[in-house]
Structure 1
């Protein structure tokens, strides 16, 4: 997992590194990382002699990084141009660029050249940016590589100005910074590459950890074994799904189809009678589950929580339930069990507050988180949730004694003890009806599989493992959105079509 630090923490470590190694040495090291990233971005599209790389240069060290990067690129045969966006520039870096016959113009003098640029390096402002600075407007379709932080993005808060320079890739120095994964940041940073420059953060506690695709692969493999290949369907996990209503029949179908597409061993479904026939057609692999069978399953679970006698390994509750007439008796009995459960949508309106033996994951978006807070006696606005997501997600995690996944472009996974993980850069196309139901199916399957939870017998899944699996499900969900979007517009049904291939990529 990638440690994430505040701007203040990064500044403190950077100051220590400068005192040991000198600012010029660090600047050149940062510039080398930036130049290498520029070459990688252009590798498939242009040869050095055909490519024009323009640097937008600011007044401080960020501008110096950009000038030194242009110097390296010019030495490698690229056509380069530096456009000075302020009256002053970094003197030593300007001398270095002049030594390779680099051309420096004011922004107003060279602005027309931007339309011919193969790549623009945004080195105007770094972590010191403050809202309101005048930023250049780039031609549509301009490829932008941001130096440390996209100009126009507040790296402390993640809030971006309307005219922020949208990056295709950001090379950030020292460490991942909180503001690069908060609020607006995932929409403007593009792919983030961390150039650590060998900064020493050993004495600093990160604010959180970012779970990316590589981290997710590692977390998923913790309990996997070669013996998994010999398991039968009951050993692979049995998921109980309580979902659907006459008002919302589609949600149950989407969650069921998602769980089946993931490869769940067996899916048992408790849905209203009017939904059952539709579900049987949509997902014929499912097996109905009535009230009596749920009672039997819960009774057996008290003796065989994750053993051979258990009828259900985990639960998924809420998609498509009509909150006006929820199956409260059945749900209440499941909430009293010790089997893991993922709770979404209308299930969030009936999940009890307070202490519980059940390992739970709640998956609200911001408005649903506000509703959960209100049920717990805390009144906040959706904007307050947006401004301080970890704080308010922590409140919900504590009030409901559950791991909470706050969904959004950046998703926050928080445990009752305050521990948290972050998943960033989910595809914007996932903001479509039914997408959350699919996430419930993915996570429900993962909670049911003992090779992923690592739990057998009468033990329960720890909150730390719930957090890890929840973050992994969010990573898979984000990758699913990106893969689907590459082939056209995104709908929930198209997401499910791509799900088996994406799951395979993660080792399923």
Structure 2
């Protein structure tokens, strides 16, 4: 996992490194990473024209990084130009660039060259950006490589001004900054590379950690065994789904299809009688589950929560329930059980706050999180939530004694003890009806499989493992969105169509 730090933490560590190694040494080290990324990006282009790199140079060390990077490119016989965006620039770096044969022009004199650039390096502000600072425009279609932080993006809050320079890639130095992953960050940074520059963060505790693909694979493999190949269907995960209504029959079917597409051993579905025929046709693998059978399954689970023959190992509750209709009494019985559950959509309207022996994951979007907080007596505005999402997700996790997944371009996963993880997938195509139902199906399956939870017998799933699996489900969901968007527009049904091959990529 990738540790994520605040700007204040990074500045403090950076100051220590400067005192030990000197500013110029650090700038040259950063420039080497920037230049190598620029060369890689140029190699990816298919233009037959000679490469031409233009850098926008700001006043501080960020501008120095850009100038030293241009000097390296000059030495590799790549044509470059530096456009000075401020009255003052780093004199030592400027001299090194000019000694390498480079040219520096004022932005006003050379901005016409931006349209001719194979690549633009944005080295204007970095951590020194302040809201409202001038950000020059770049012609549409020109590729941009951001040095540390895209200009126009607040590195602490992740709020970007309208004129932000959207990057294809960002090389960030020292460590991952919170703002690169928050609010607007995932929409403007492109692919992020962390060049750690051998900074020593041993004395600093990160605010959270980012789950990337490698981390997701490692977390999923934590409890897997070669013996899993010999399991029968009841050992591969039995999921109970309580969902659907006359008003919203589709959500239950989408969640059920997603769970089946993931490879769940057995799916038991508790849906209204009126939509059971639809479920039988659209998800013939599912087995109906009535109130009496739920009580029987819950009684059995008290004796063997995650045993090899447990009738139901985990629950998914909420997709498509009609909030205007009193929920079935079975939901209250399930909430009182010790089996793990993922609760989404209208299930969030009825989940009780306070202590519980049930390991739960609540999966709200921003509006639903404010509703949950309001029910717990905490009133916040949309702006307050967007400015500090981890803080308010922590409040909800504590109030409901549950792992809470706040969904968005960056998803925040927080446990009741305050531990947190982040998943940043930059897949805006997932903002479509039914996408959340698919995520519920994925996570519901994961919670039902003891080879993933690592629990057997009467032990309940620890909140830490609930949080890790939630992050894995969120990562797979984001990857699924990107895969689906690669060959067409995205809807929930197309997500489900691609789910089996994506799950296989992650070892299922």
Length-normalised TM-score, structure 2: 0.99
The residue aligned with 1:433 is 433
8 Å CA contact retained: 2:234, 2:309: no
The residue aligned with 2:188 is 188
Q: Which moved more, 1:376-385 or 1:170-179?
A: 376-385
The residue aligned with 2:163 is 163
1:327-357 Cα offsets, whole Å, 9 max, x none, are 3301000001000000000000000111100
The residue aligned with 1:202 is 202
Question: Matches of 1:235 and 1:77 in 2, distance apart?
Answer: 61
8 Å CA contact retained: 2:235, 2:309: no
8 Å CA contact retained: 2:187, 2:426: no
The residue aligned with 1:396 is 396
In the TM superposition, 1:219-230 aligns within 5 A as 219-230=219-230
Question: Matches of 1:292 and 1:480 in 2, distance apart?
Answer: 37
Q: Secondary structure at the match of 2:154?
A: coil
8 Å CA contact retained: 1:51, 1:118: yes
Question: Matches of 2:377 and 2:87 in 1, distance apart?
Answer: 54
In the TM superposition, 1:328-477 aligns within 5 A as 328-477=328-477
The residue aligned with 2:306 is 306
1:372-396 Cα offsets, whole Å, 9 max, x none, are 1111111111221111111111111
Question: Matches of 1:480 and 1:43 in 2, distance apart?
Answer: 28
Q: Secondary structure at the match of 1:222?
A: helix
In the TM superposition, 1:119-268 aligns within 5 A as 119-268=119-268
Q: Secondary structure at the match of 1:364?
A: coil
Length-normalised TM-score, structure 1: 0.99
The residue aligned with 2:292 is 292
What are structure 1's unaligned runs of at least 5 residues?
A: none
**Superposition RMSD in Å:** 1.1
In the TM superposition, 1:45-64 aligns within 5 A as 45-46=45-46, 50-64=50-64
Question: Matches of 1:89 and 1:249 in 2, distance apart?
Answer: 62
1:72-130 Cα offsets, whole Å, 9 max, x none, are 11111211111111122111111111112111111111111111111110000111100
8 Å CA contact retained: 2:425, 2:479: no
* Structure 1 residues 47 and 248: CA distance shift in structure 2, 3 A: closer
Question: Matches of 1:444 and 1:69 in 2, distance apart?
Answer: 48
* Structure 1 residues 309 and 227: CA distance shift in structure 2, 3 A: closer
8 Å CA contact retained: 1:239, 1:448: yes
Question: Matches of 1:328 and 1:399 in 2, distance apart?
Answer: 24
Aligned residues: 508
Q: Secondary structure at the match of 1:4?
A: strand
Question: Matches of 1:53 and 1:326 in 2, distance apart?
Answer: 63
Q: Secondary structure at the match of 1:105?
A: strand
8 Å CA contact retained: 2:60, 2:128: no
Question: 1:264 Cα deviation (Å)?
Answer: 0.6
Q: Secondary structure at the match of 2:295?
A: helix
Question: 1:471 Cα deviation (Å)?
Answer: 0.5
Question: 1:47 Cα deviation (Å)?
Answer: 7.4
The residue aligned with 2:273 is 273
Q: Which moved more, 1:320-329 or 1:367-376?
A: 320-329
8 Å CA contact retained: 2:360, 2:402: yes
8 Å CA contact retained: 1:49, 1:78: no
The residue aligned with 1:10 is 10
Question: Matches of 1:193 and 1:14 in 2, distance apart?
Answer: 18
Q: Secondary structure at the match of 1:221?
A: helix
Q: Secondary structure at the match of 2:150?
A: coil
What are structure 2's unaligned runs of at least 5 residues?
A: none
Question: 1:179 Cα deviation (Å)?
Answer: 1.3
1:33-58 Cα offsets, whole Å, 9 max, x none, are 00111111121215797111110111
Q: Secondary structure at the match of 2:422?
A: strand
Question: Matches of 2:183 and 2:418 in 1, distance apart?
Answer: 20
- The list of structure 1 runs, each at least 4 consecutive aligned residues, that deviate by more than 6 angstroms after superposition, is none
